[in-house]
Amino acid sequence: MAILVNDKTKVLVQGITGKEGSKVALQMKNYGTKVLAGVTPGKGGQEVHGVPVYNTIAEALDSHPGINTSLISVPNFAVFGAMQEAIAAQIPLINVFTEHVPIADTAKAIAMAKKAGVRIVGPSSMGIISPGIGKVGQIGGEDPRGVFSKGNVGVISKSGGMSSEVSWILTKNGIGQSTVIGIGGDILEGSTFTDMMEEFEKDEQTKSVVIFGEIGGTYEEEAAEMIKSGRFTKKVVAFISGLFAESLPQGTKLGHAGAIVYGDKGSYKSKINSLTEAGVTIAKTPDEIPDLLTM
């Protein structure tokens, strides 16, 4: 029944009184997601789009003990404190929308989350959507209904924009999605391709998975190793952006913070070779993905 976001998802928005937090809270509510509370220190007692605001997560949980997901939309310097508070409260799923989070802060939070058994998706994550059920984050914007459709293909993307683009391509070709996840494109992320593939492997609704990768980092190579080892058994179609970067100087930064290549690891060639050796079907363009899924 999809992964991460389902009909039992109940959301807290950290930073709900900010411009982005307020906007995303309304988007989630309009899509049917249960948004129970918001937290902004010093602004407890207010309401945003009918959602009550509290000063702390502890106060929010006292009034809404069913909360099981937190969306973090606060300035980057405040993200670590927000993650730390959510982890301490044992909120099972934390989605970090904020960009430009210091990598040291992300590393510390990931270590804390693993110890606590908490899942972080992000930073720089556009969000998570299980079509027809609910969404967390800004994924799909104001109206995801024409882009996403319910089905049995899982989508994992480093790029928030391309998570929607790939889903739209699938939808217009009559192929629905189980869950679509923008994991974020930073060097270090709370959830990797392999983390999400583990969840999709267990999900009965998901029959195949699309990976949208980028140059930089080794998450795609790790996914290839997972498939080779037999820990992921469903069909995978992958598209890796960044072919043009093969001709650029080593160490060139491109777009996302994670799109930095040193040596062979993380390069377009390395990712394509690793995935191909693992038996993954490679799309040369996103428009090829629907046909490759049905082959």
Catalytic residues: 256
C-beta separation of 201 from 231 below 8 A? yes
Beta strands in 111-184 (DSSP E): 119-121, 127-130, 134-137, 150-157, 177-182
The answer to whether the CB of 160 falls within 8 A of the CB of 125 is yes
The sheet with strand 150-157 has its strands ordered as 134-137, 127-130, 177-182, 150-157, 208-214, 235-241, 281-282
Per-residue buried b or exposed e for 31-58, using 16+ beta carbons within 10 Å of the residue's own CB:
bebbbbbbbbbeeeeeebbebbbbeebe
